[in-house]
Structure 1
Amino acid sequence: MMYMAALISNLIIITLITLDLQLQTPMYFFLKNLSLMDVFFVSVIIPNLIVNSLTHNNFISILGCAVQVLLLSSFTGGDVFILTVMSYDRYVAICSPLHYDAIMNDSVCVLVVSISWGTGVLFGAIYTVGTFSMSFCGSNVIPQFFCDVPSLLSISCSKMVLAIYTSIGIGVFLGMFCFICVVVSYFYIFSTVLKIPTTKGLSKAFTTCILHLTVFTMFIATACFIFLKAPSEEPSITDRLFPVIYTVLSPAINLLI
């Protein structure tokens, strides 16, 4: 039910932005692409959950597991980049409003969104190759309701996992780059917002920015906990809870923006 709620909420966002001519702005163009990524993100998990529920069988093939890792990591990377672009869009809108239309024109918006999708897919491919270059032995039970890298690491018997840690290092570098970009953008945004004389303008700017910052922070924080935490043989409650927040709650709260 939670996955369906996240899926429906993002489909509503996409439909409204597509049909409402007043929402044909760069900000909503980025939000539409973020919701589209999250629709695909959630849809990666739903089919296998439905099949497992109907057949009462928790089996997943190696190919199916690899596809899940590829798609989930691709859409995760794409999400982070889109959220970073949205922070820059808010920076330009608030700090340079007179130049907004010239800077955030249609060509620039399409270009940065294309780069976000492409970078996400490239990161997903590197991450998947690194993950499945390991050897697996012993238990074939994944301690999670979908295929994720930490769970696969916990059942791997590889001593040398250079490939996977290299891909994790790339992910950390890209994540830190996006995080720094967002922090710098919001430093200038809040510095400018605090100079707004009217209470209405101040409230509107703060509301839009705080909600976007909340979504970004929640997504980054849960992703870091999942991907950077050392694998454990006996997963704790938090190990099972955070993937739910990461895969369901973050996509579902796009409606806040």
Structure 2
Amino acid sequence: MGKNPVEVNLTSMTEFILLGFSDYPNLQMFLFIIFFFVYVIILMGNGIIVLVTRLDQALQTPMYFFLSNFSFLEVCFVSATLPRMLTNLWTQKRSISLFACATQMSFVLMLGNVECLFLTVMAYDRYIAICNPLHYPLVMNHKVCVQLVAACWITGILVEIGQTCQIFSLPYCGSNQINHFFCDIPPLLSLACGDTFLNEMLVFTVAMLFVMIPFLLILGSYSKIISTILRLPSATGRTKAFSTCSSHVIIVAMFFGSAIITYLRPKTKHSSRTDKFLSLFYTIVTPMFNPMIYTLRNKDVMIALRKLLP
């Protein structure tokens, strides 16, 4: 008996084509230059935050311990997508092997989940510092901070390894062109054969656990924080408290806003162009603005930075 053509496709599917920004053929070199400089800014900016918070004794507090780890995470997160995108723009060779695609997806989703948890932990830190300042040194001691960071990493890694295996166990047939600049779940699911309802439900469940629930916890923390700040008798105290929290709120709004729309909106509303635009926000724009927001809006970090500079 002859093979079914679908079966032939299933067995021969060994690579995908990342279309990226190929719909702008005249802008390839311009986009390469832009994204290259963005990558350098992200590496330098977040690297400086890690260095400053580790070397300056005045910044050896839980808040800056979390900020240092968050900046390191941002470097890892952007490195999971940008180098491959830059290579594709430079060489115009857009193929990616099945294994490399699965590896990239695993890292992007894992680091994205860890970032959601990190931002929640940072909100909890601010909540304890402002709402329960007397208990802060006891509750947020160094051991607890290390345990919280470790828990974020372990949880994110375990869940995403399972989800990636589940996505790549699907049969893929027909087109192997991924209309995205990295291997992400929505464009890959659109290429899968057969019924993907269970897979979509699993993606929705994981997104609820790692995106929506942390976001709601952060909102709850900040509602208590704002309530406490407004009761402070000193206007200077209120200004300082708001200033401490505002940087974190900006990052949360940028990251969670784009992630919620990407992973929790109905499949019928998905558009490859919109998905790419939103993905740029949480994979590239947030890591780029993180050091700017935290240094320019933070006097302690600016003072520490001046000490390091000759």
**1:143 maps to which residue?**
179
Q: How does 1:80-229 map to 2 (within 5 A)?
A: 80-229=116-265
Greater alpha carbon shift after TM alignment, 23-32 vs 44-53: 44-53
**2:13 maps to which residue?**
none
Q: Distance in 2 between matches of 1:57 and 1:202?
A: 54
**2:67 maps to which residue?**
31
Q: Distance in 2 between matches of 1:92 and 1:31?
A: 16
* CA deviations over 1:40-78 (Å, ceiling 9, x no partner): 011111332233244320111111110111000110110
Contact 1:80-1:178 at 8 Å conserved across structures: yes
- 1:59 paired with 2:95, answer yes
2:44 to 1, 8, 27: 8
Closer, same or farther in 2 for the Cα pair 1:206/1:62, shift >3 Å?
same
**1:251 maps to which residue?**
287
Q: How many residues align?
A: 257
**2:105 maps to which residue?**
69
Q: Distance in 1 between matches of 2:275 and 2:216?
A: 27
Which sections of structure 2, spanning at least 5 residues, go unmatched?
1-36, 295-310
Q: Distance in 1 between matches of 2:118 and 2:283?
A: 17
Structure-1-length-normalised TM-score:
0.93
Q: Distance in 2 between matches of 1:150 and 1:163?
A: 11
Contact 1:5-1:252 at 8 Å conserved across structures: yes
Closer, same or farther in 2 for the Cα pair 1:171/1:236, shift >3 Å?
closer
Structure-2-length-normalised TM-score:
0.78
Q: Distance in 2 between matches of 1:131 and 1:250?
A: 26
Paired letter, 1:254: N
Contact 2:88-2:94 at 8 Å conserved across structures: yes
Q: Distance in 1 between matches of 2:251 and 2:178?
A: 29
Which sections of structure 1, spanning at least 5 residues, go unmatched?
none
Contact 2:207-2:263 at 8 Å conserved across structures: no
Paired letter, 1:121: I
Paired letter, 2:69: N
The alpha carbon displacement at 1:164 in A equals 4.8
Greater alpha carbon shift after TM alignment, 7-16 vs 29-38: 7-16
Closer, same or farther in 2 for the Cα pair 1:54/1:218, shift >3 Å?
closer
Greater alpha carbon shift after TM alignment, 174-183 vs 128-137: 174-183
When the two chains are superposed, the root-mean-square deviation of aligned CA atoms in Å is: 1.9
The alpha carbon displacement at 1:236 in A equals 5.0
- 1:47 paired with 2:83, answer yes
Q: Distance in 1 between matches of 2:116 and 2:259?
A: 10
**2:19 maps to which residue?**
none
Greater alpha carbon shift after TM alignment, 122-131 vs 13-22: 122-131
1:18 to 54, 66, 72: 54
The alpha carbon displacement at 1:180 in A equals 2.5
Q: Distance in 2 between matches of 1:4 and 1:133?
A: 36
Q: Distance in 2 between matches of 1:44 and 1:72?
A: 6
The alpha carbon displacement at 1:229 in A equals 3.5
Greater alpha carbon shift after TM alignment, 47-56 vs 99-108: 47-56
Contact 2:116-2:210 at 8 Å conserved across structures: no
3-state SS, counterpart of residue 33 of structure 1: helix
Greater alpha carbon shift after TM alignment, 106-115 vs 228-237: 228-237
Q: Indicate the structure (1 or 2) with the bigger Cα radius of gyration.
A: 2
Identity fraction in percent: 39
